Structure formats: structure tokens, C-alpha cells
Amino acid sequence: MALKINHNLVNEEIAKTLVDICPFKAIEYHNNKLSINAGCKNCKICVKKGPAGVIELVKEEIKTINKNEWKNIVVYADIEENKVHPVTYELIGKARELAQVINHEVHVLAIGYNLNQTVDKILHYGVDKVFTYDHEKLKHFDVERYTNVFEDFINKNKPSSILFGATHIGRSLAPRIAARFKTGLTADCTALEMKENTDLVQIRPAFGGNIMAQIVNSNHRPQFCTARYKVFDAPEKTINPTGEIINCPVKDKWLKTRVEILEIINKKKEEDISESEIIIAIGRGVKSKEDFNLVFELADLLNASIGCTRPVAEAGLLNSKHQIGLSGKTVKPKLIITLGVSGAIQFTSGMKDAECIIAVNNDPAAQIFDIAHFAVFGDIYEIVPELIKNIKEEKSNV
């Protein structure tokens, strides 16, 4: 339902009444014209208590589409310097699961330059088709050029759903394209499901991680979403791929841009805890930066990376690149040991899929114990030194 103003009934006195009656200051009267701004909460007080008939509720016409015209699931191949980001393969694995529900194909869209060998590798992950837009001016990511090319692909192929990795490229490109097609985009999905009518159920944490929202875009196509690295599992590589590569022409008009790339300076490579197989995660139970020496010693013995919760990062005790959770990294190590971590969902959503979780906490009711494979109840300042001692003894006996 929407609010409609019958302007023929509006005069200065009525306008003042309506402006005063709105608790959200959403009704404005300027230049003899009454309007409703974005502050409107649809509380309907103006309809119920305002002058009769001036503002009324009208039923909005819901736009419907022929979903049968939109087919197949597309994964955007996140490629930089002809290297495919691993999140692409993870999304292919998820796309294959979703496609089985509706008997659609899985396609991949690759944009760049000299893509032949790169897309050959993608075929080995069980996709049906790889569409390539290969041009020298697409060598480096330019959001205007890439959006133009992507628009052509969608117009010609009409995909039902498009999956992006939540990388710096995916997060820049996906909203541009979604806006161009006047459709929705769900960011940082942690789960995806498919209905038989081809509606993509996009699941992500909401309200600070207190609930899991299920978002469905029933009346628009394509459906867009992004997902973080390490959320889904990549499929096994196939030895003899059966998919095909389709090379698409690139028109000069798509290459117009207001951006000029003067120089590309590669950032110094830093440790990415998303790739780590063993992680020691620090929570507020580790009281000070000086106490981190214990943790660092344990990490050295296990050849582990250091992770942390948001409060630890915000306190400046560790760099934010170590942060795990909704506002940090998603990790899927073989082993994660949490020290003094309470286990709020904002943190656990970023590490719950680890193969083995060992939690150390002196609070028997700590939420982290609900997902831990091994729960150690006790003081970390007693347990960690003992653990270090035992590991050193084991290593000396080898």
C-alpha cells in the first residue's frame, strides 16, 4: 500500500495541519506543494487523523514477470592478472547445487584480456558454458566498462540468478549492475537455497547477527547476491570437462570510461588468515597486549595464524586484518583454537565451519562451547602455558 496526496484538496491551512500531525517530519509544504519525503514510516496517522480524503492509501500495482524467460545460474569469474580468485570455484559448487533443483545450467562470465588458458581451468569445475568478453581495454578492472559488458551479457542471455564473490571487485561491480536493471542485491550471503519456481532464497545475518534473514526477490530478474570467500565448498576438479567456451564480441561503445589508469602498483602481500589451516583466535579473555606473548608462542609452535574478535581489534590490540566474523574474515581452517572467546554469533558466523574447534574459556555458559568440538573449561593463563609445555615435550621426543 502507498500514500497518495489529492492535491486538489490541499490548501495552506490543511497543509499546515498535515505537517504538524506527522511525528516523523515526513510531510513537507514548499512552494504551495505538499509532498511526502523519505522519512515516512507508513504509520498512516496522516490518513487516520488528518483532513478526510487529502491523503489516502492506494494499492500499489505489483509488477510481475515471466520467470520462464529467465534461465540458468551465472557465476561471475573474479579474475585479476589472469588469476581466478578461489571464491569463484566455491560459487560454482553452490551454483551446481542450486541448478539441480530447477534443472538449469551453470554458466560462468569471464571479463578480461588473454583469457584462453584461464577459462580452460574454469571448465574443469563442471560448468556448462563459459562466456568470455576478451579485449585489451578490459585487462584491468574498470567498473564502467565491466558494467557495460555485463549489461550486454544479461540482455542477450537473460540469466535467472547471478552470484558474485564478495571481493573488492564483486562488491564494486554487483551493485552497479543491479541498479542498472532496477533489481535487488543481497550482500554477504552465508547460505543460498532455490525454490522450484526459480526464486533464489538469499540468507544472511541481520540486526547485528541476531537473526538470519531470508530475502527473496520474487518480481524481478536477474537475482543478484554476493558471498564471501570460504562460505561454500569448491567442487572437485574433473579430468575431462564437457562444457563449452563462448567468445562474445566487444563493442567500442562499451569501452568508454571516465576513468584513466595511470599506473598499477601492487600492494605488498600480507598474510590472509582466510587461507590458514590453523588459527589461534583471541577474545576479550586475553587481558592485555603483553599477554599476547603466550599466544604468539603457541602459534609459533603450531605454525598457526592469529585471529581475533571484533572487540580485540577495536581496542587496537590487533590489526583489523586479523578479525574474524561478520565484519571481518570468514575462515574455514582445519583447526581453530579460541582463547577467551565468548562465542557471539557475530564471531562464530565467520568460523563455525572449521573442521575442528577447540574452545578454552572459564565461563561454563560461554556460547562458544555450543559449536566447539572440544570444550576446555578453565583459565587460559593456566591452560595455555601447560599446552605449550606439552607441545615442546612432544617435539623434543620426535
Assess whether 278 and 346 both reside in one domain.
yes
Residue type, 213: A
pTM confidence score = 0.80
Assess whether 41 and 102 both reside in one domain.
no
Assess whether 233 and 299 both reside in one domain.
no
Inter-axis angle of helices 143-157 and 168-180, nearest 10 = 50
- What are the distances in angstroms from CA 37 to CA 3, 105, 269? 11, 44, 47
For residue 109, the cross-strand partners are: 76, 131
Going by pLDDT thresholds of 50, 70 and 90, the confidence category of residue 209 is low
What values do phi and psi take at 191, rounded to 5?
-155, 150
The count of domains in the chain is 3
Assess whether 38 and 76 both reside in one domain.
no
Which of 255, 286, 308 is at the close of a domain?
255
Residue 265 lies in a domain: no
Asked if 201 contacts 214 with a C-beta cutoff of 8 angstroms, the reply is yes
At 103-161, the pLDDT tens digits run: 999 999 999 999 988 999 999 999 999 999 999 999 999 999 999 999 999 999 999 99
Determine the Cα–Cα distance for residues 236 and 251; give it in Å rounded to an integer.
36
Mean pLDDT of the chain: 92
Q: What percent of the chain has pLDDT over 70?
A: 99
The distance of Cα 94 from the centroid of its chain, to the nearest Å, equals: 14
At 156-190, the pLDDT tens digits run: 999 999 999 999 999 999 999 999 999 999 999 99
What are the DSSP E strand ranges found in 156-252? 161-165, 185-189, 191-194, 200-206, 211-215, 223-227, 244-248
Determine the Cα–Cα distance for residues 324 and 347; give it in Å rounded to an integer.
6
Q: Which three cell numbers stand for residue 277?
A: 589451516
Which of 58, 79, 99 is at the close of a domain?
58
Assess whether 239 and 120 both reside in one domain.
yes
Domain housing 364: 273-396
